[in-house]
Chains A and B, each alone.
Chain A
C-alpha cells in the first residue's frame, strides 16, 4: 500500500525559508486537498516533493513507503511513482507529445527491468488512444509538439493525460483547475477521478472549491505561511468558500509576518 510521509519539511529558495516545518501523510486511495492564499508555499511543496534543484531542503524528510527519497534524482522519483502535474508546464519544441510519452514509459519500464524492450508502437498507440478517449482529447493532439502553442486548457489536459499514461502512486496536482472553463474543468476532474484507485494517493493543490466538488477529497488542509494550520473534511473547504481566508489570517497572526513568500 502506497504511503508518502512528509516530515517537518523546511525548504529554502535562495536565502528565503518558504516551508517551515510542513507535515503531511498521504496513503494510497486518499485525496488530500491543500488550500491556502497565494504565497504560502503550496507550489514550493510541489516542487520540493519532485526534487527541483532550486528548492533546497534544509531540514526534515520525505518518505515514500518508508524510504527517504531526498537522495533520489528527479527522474528516479518519477520512476518510483511520483508525479507532478505542473501549474505552468514548459514547452519542448520539436518533440511530439506521443513520442515524449513513449520515451517516458520506456524509461520507466527499463528502470524496473533493464532487459525490457519497451512498449510496441501498436500497443502504445492503443493505450494512448484509450486515455485520450477518457479525457475527450482529439487524437491529433499526440502529434503536436509538447506544450508548444497549447492553450491553457490544453496544457492542463495534457498534464492529466501524462498522469494517466504513467500511472503514478503519488500524484501532486498543482492548480490543475486554474485557467479552465467549467466544461474543461469537468473533463479534467472526471479524468483525475477515473484514475483514483486504492494505489493512488493524490495531493490536490487548489484555490477553489469547484474542483473539490468533483473530487470529493477525504481531507482538506489549509496551508498558511509555510505549514498546515488547519485540517478537516469537506466542510473546511466550504467554510473557505463562504468566508475567504481572512479568518485564517486573524487566527494565525504570528505566522503572518514571517510568512510572506
Chain B
C-alpha cells in the first residue's frame, strides 16, 4: 500500500466502525468530573445500599487513592482520571421490559440487535447504558428453576446474604488499583446464581454501551455457579467514537463450585477512544471447570488478564483469546492460571494479530504453589504481524514450586507467508481477500468455540478490521 493510500485509510479507520453513533444526552443525573469521597457516597445513596457496602466502597476508595499506577505494561499516562465522569445515571427504569426502556436507549439497543438476539438464541439478556442497567430479563422456565439473573444492584437488594457472602472475595480491594477503583464506584453489571445441578443451555448475555464522552463505566459482575451447574455468560461492548477518551474498568468475579462449569465469553468492540482496564477472575473448586473466551477487537488500550485460581482438586482452567490491534491500538491481554491444588490443569491458547502500528502483547502467568502433585499446564501463543509497522510482544511468567508438574509454553511470531498469499491469489483471490481468509483461518480455533451467532459476528468484525489492510 502506498503511504498516501495508507494515510487515507488510517483516516477513514474510525468510519468503518459501525457502532460509532451516539445518542443525545438523556442522563437524569451526572456526578461532577473526577472522584471524591462524596461522589462515592452519592453513588451508594442512589442505590439505597446497606451500610456495609458503603463502608466497603469507602475503604476501596482509600486504597485506590494510595495505590500507584501500575509500573508495567502499556503507557496509559494519557488517561486523565480527573477528567472522567464516574457516575452518569440514565432515567429511572423498570428493568423488566423493553417497552419501558426510553425510546432513545431502546433504539440504540435495537440497532445493536439485542432484543432480536434475545428472542432467537439467548436465555436471558442484560443491557447497561452508561452507568446503569436499563434492562434485565431471563426466560421464565429458568427463573422457575431458581436461576437468578439480575442487575448487580437488584442482586444486592433481593439476595443480600448470598451477595455479601461472595462479593469482593475473589477480587479483593487490594488486588490492584483499578479493582479498588471499581469497588469504590461500581455501578451496573449482573448478579447470576445457578442452583445446584441446573444446566442453562442457552447463553445469558450482557451488553454494555457507553454513550457519554469522558465517561467511566465500572460494571461489576458476580457469577455463582453452584455444585454441578452449568452456565455460559456472554458480554458484548461498544461505544460511540469520540475524540475524547472514555474509560471502562469492570470487575468480574466468578465462583465455580464443585463439578460446576462456567464459560465467560467477551466480544470487546469498544470504539478506539476507550481505555479498557478490566479485572476478571474465577475461583474454581473441586472438579470445576472455568473457561474464558476472550476476543479483544476494539478500544484504544486494553489491559486484561482473566485468571483462574484453581482451589479444588481436579479443577481445570482454560483461556482462549484472540486480540486484534489495528492502527493506534494496544491490546495487552493474557491470562493467569494459579494452581493451588493437586490434580489441576490449565490451558491457555492466545492468538493475536497486529496491523498498522497496532501492538498486541501476551502477558501471562502460570504459577504452581508448593507441595502439589500432578499439575499440567500448557500455553500456546501465536502472533501474526500484517505489516512492517505492526508489533507484538510475549511476556509469559512460569513460576513452579512443586516437582510433580508438566508445564509447557510455546510462542511464535510470524507474518503472512508469501507462498500462502501466492497460492490464494492463484485461485483468484485478491490480496485483501486472501489476507482476510488467512487471518480468519488463524483465529478459527477460537471462533469455533463460540455459539454460531457470535462466530458469524466475530468473522464480520474481523473483516471490518481488515478493510483497507492491503493497498
Contacts and interface: CB of A to CB of B under 8 A. Distances in A.
Task: Give yes or no for direct A-B contact (beta carbon below 8 Å).
Answer: yes
Interface of A: 50-54, 73-75, 77-79, 82-84, 86, 89-90, 92-95, 100, 103-104, 107-108, 111, 145-146, 162, 166
B417 A108 contact: no
A104 B422 CA distance: 13
A75 B445 contact: no
Given A75-B426, A166-B427, A166-B428, 7 more contacts: A74-B425, A75-B425, A89-B423, A103-B429, A104-B429, A107-B430, A107-B433
A29 to B, nearest CB: 23
B440 A84 contact: no
Contacts of B7: none
Given A92-B438, A93-B441, A94-B444, A79 B424 contact: no
Given A79-B428, A107-B429, A94 B420 contact: no
Q: Tell me the interface secondary structure of chain A in the complex.
A: mixed
B173 interface: no
A52 B422 contact: yes
A137 B428 CA distance: 23
B442 interface: yes
A82 B428 CA distance: 9
Nearest to A105: B428
A93 B414 CA distance: 14
B423 A92 contact: yes
Given A90-B419, A107-B433, A78 B441 contact: no
Given A52-B422, A90-B419, A103-B433, A162 B427 contact: yes
Given A75-B430, A78-B427, A107-B429, A94 B422 contact: no
B441 A95 contact: yes
Given A75-B429, A103-B433, A107-B429, A86 B423 contact: yes
B217 to A, nearest CB: 34
B254 to A, nearest CB: 29
Contacts, number: 82
A90 B420 contact: yes
B437 interface: yes
Q: Tell me the interface secondary structure of chain B in the complex.
A: helix
23 contacts: A73-B431, A75-B429, A78-B426, A82-B426, A83-B426, A84-B426, A90-B417, A90-B419, A90-B423, A92-B420, A92-B423, A92-B437, A92-B438, A92-B441, A95-B441, A100-B427, A104-B429, A107-B429, A107-B433, A108-B428, A111-B428, A145-B441, A162-B427
Contact of A104 (B417, B427, B431, B444): B427
A100 B420 contact: no
B426 A53 contact: no
Given A53-B418, A103-B437, A94 B426 contact: no
Contacts of B419: 90
Given A53-B418, A92-B438, A92-B441, A107 B426 contact: no
B443 interface: yes
A119 to B, nearest CB: 14
A112 to B, nearest CB: 11
A172 B227 CA distance: 62
6 shortest A-B CB distances, which residue pairs? A94-B441, A94-B444, A74-B425, A95-B441, A78-B428, A104-B427
Nearest to B446: A94
Contacts of B438: 92, 95
B1 to A, nearest CB: 14
B417 to A, nearest CB: 7
A54 B437 CA distance: 22
Given A90-B419, A94-B442, A94-B445, A107 B428 contact: yes
A51 B427 CA distance: 12
Contacts of A83: 426
Nearest to B437: A95
Q: B427, B431, B433, B441 — which one has the most chain A CB atoms within 10 A of its CB?
A: B427
A107 B424 CA distance: 11
A94 B427 contact: no
Contacts of B443: 94
